[in-house]
Amino acid sequence: MYETSSRRFVFLKSPLVMKAISLLRSTSARRALSIALAFVIAVCLSGAVFAQQHLSKRYQTGKNVRVELRNISGTIVVESWNKDEIRLSATIESPNAHIVPKQMDESLIVDVMSDNRGRGDVGDVNFKLQVPVSSSVDLETRRGQISVSNLRGASVRAHVSTEGDIELTNIVAGQVVAQNTIGNIFFDGEFSTGGTYEFKSTKGDITIRIPGNSAFRLVAASPARKITLGDFWNNGFKTQDGRRYVGDVGDGRSSVSVTNFNGQITFMRK
Amino acid sequence: MNCEKCQELIHDLLDGTISRSDEFALNTHLKECLDCESVRQDLSSIVTFCRSHRGEYDAPPNSQALWLRIRNVVEAEAANVPVKSKAVRKSFLAELMGRSWEMSLPQLASFAVAIMLLVSIVTVVAIRRGGNNPGPAEQPREQASNINERVWQRQQVINYWKQRVELNKARWSPEMRDTFERNLLVIDQAVNQSLNELNRNPHDEISEQMLNESLNDKLVLLKEFSDL
């Protein structure tokens, strides 16, 4: 044992090691070493990036197409464009994940859950869809953000089972549903005559930005008593100690339901 | 002469006590009326038969015993009266069913008034009984226990899905497990918050709505993750 220790001591005292230690003590050498290390990390990361799959497909459709997307984890971004086709692009984290979109009549169905049953954890799949302006979209994810913009279709549904913000911008649809457990919900659009609109979160803020001349019947509930109706408040509203507001704005042509457990409900005028 | 007077005179004729004038009038009528003639012939043959067999029939040796037997038969028949009345009731029911139920306007009006009276009486009795319900102090307790019972029932379904989720959890990524647990906790907090509020005020509609919605959310979350 003593012999081994003495050998190590001899090794540390060897001229080569002594030279290396003295080199490390110099600033320029340390800088060179840092650069080398950064390079190695960058190479490793780029390898990881290259390990991701990319999917990009185009589907010829009509104007009133319906898109159904069931994701497990990851973001979903939907935008409109002036083409009668859908462009689907996805970044797939796991090499094991499979995505097989199905086009049927006037609808496109992407079901990550069904496509990967029994494959274990498939990680995040981040989608970006470009769809015709008058498309209807039905989007679901267990976890992740959903963003939809510039749509004028029949319906928009965005459902996040757990946490993830939902952002619906410039939406004009007869039916809108946005629901999550933790996360903010933002709606910017118009309420159509006879339309139904439902926004629900357990822990997050719900903000609704609509034109000043909007007409709707509102049922807004927040046990935390954080409801701000802003310009849309009128004396016709009935309230139960600030936790629920029920009333008509204008002639109440559409039906709006907003439920929030712990966050703020805010109505804003565009 | 009418038939009634004729049949009275037939008895006199057979007894041999009829006057000549009556006999003439009777014979005249009998020639014209076949029914009365038939009655005369029947009675005449009975009387002739009795006269020819006079003395052949003796009185029963024990007339007292005969009367007793007759009385027994009568009493036995009297004992069967309920059976008879049953039969009568049956026939009454049959008659009732087979009867035409067309009612006149006054009958209909009185029938309607009778129904209204009956309904009013029943309503008054029901309201008075309602007044005997548990007092205001007991009602909230009862309602609270109803709420707890409903929650318990929902909880059974939730437990089933929770077990299914537990079986699959091992396959999830650590991030997904954390996310699920965090969100379930948030929903549980909402459930408990609503329950506490309802225990304080069982009539609180908003808390009841929130409780229902958060229990639904929990169930949906568990169902969605049981597939994962």
CB contact under 8 A, A243 and B214: no
Spatial separation of the C-alpha atoms in residues A171 and A151, rounded to whole Å: 5
Q: Is A53 exposed, middle or buried (0-12, 13-18, 19+ CB in 10 A)?
A: middle
Taking the domains of chain B in order of start, what are their residue ranges?
Answer: 3-52, 138-226
Structure confidence at residue B5 (pLDDT)? 82
Separation of first and last alpha carbons in chain A:
81
Structure confidence at residue B135 (pLDDT)? 52
How does pLDDT run along chain A (270 residues), one tens digit per residue? 434 444 554 555 566 666 666 666 666 666 666 666 665 555 444 444 446 789 999 999 999 999 999 999 999 999 999 999 999 999 998 888 899 999 998 999 999 999 998 887 889 999 999 999 999 999 999 999 999 999 999 999 999 999 999 999 999 999 999 999 999 999 999 999 999 999 999 999 999 999 999 999 999 999 999 999 999 999 999 998 899 999 999 987 899 999 999 999 999 999
Structure confidence at residue A44 (pLDDT)? 46
- What ipTM was estimated for this complex? 0.77
CB contact under 8 A, B207 and A223: yes
B192 or A27, greater pLDDT: B192
Spatial separation of the C-alpha atoms in residues B164 and B160, rounded to whole Å: 7
Q: Indicate whether B100 pLDDT > 60.
A: no
CB contact under 8 A, A240 and B217: no
Render pLDDT for B121-180 as a digit per residue (tens, 0 to 9).
888 887 776 555 555 555 666 666 777 888 888 888 999 999 989 988 888 889 999 999
Q: What is the mean pLDDT of residues B14-36?
A: 84
Spatial separation of the C-alpha atoms in residues A114 and A95, rounded to whole Å: 17
Which residues in chain B touch residue A262, judged by CB atoms under 8 angstroms apart? 186, 190
Interface of A with B (CB under 8 A): 72-73, 113, 120-121, 123, 142-143, 161-163, 181-182, 200, 202-203, 221, 223, 240, 243-244, 259, 261-262
Tell me the torsion sign for CA atoms B76, B77, B78, B84.
Answer: positive
Size of the A and B interface in Cβ pairs below 8 Å:
68
Is any Cβ of chain A less than 8 angstroms from the Cβ of B190? yes
Structure confidence at residue A73 (pLDDT)? 95
Is any Cβ of chain A less than 8 angstroms from the Cβ of B172? yes
Render pLDDT for B196-215 as a digit per residue (tens, 0 to 9).
998 888 888 889 989 999 99
Nearest Cα neighbor of B144 from B219, B189, B195 is B195
Residue with tokens 């169905």: A109
- For A55-91, b/e burial (b = at least 16 CB within 10 A) is beeeeebeeebbbbbbbbbbbbbbbbeeeeebebebb
Structure confidence at residue A2 (pLDDT)? 39
pTM: 0.63
Spatial separation of the C-alpha atoms in residues B212 and A221, rounded to whole Å: 13
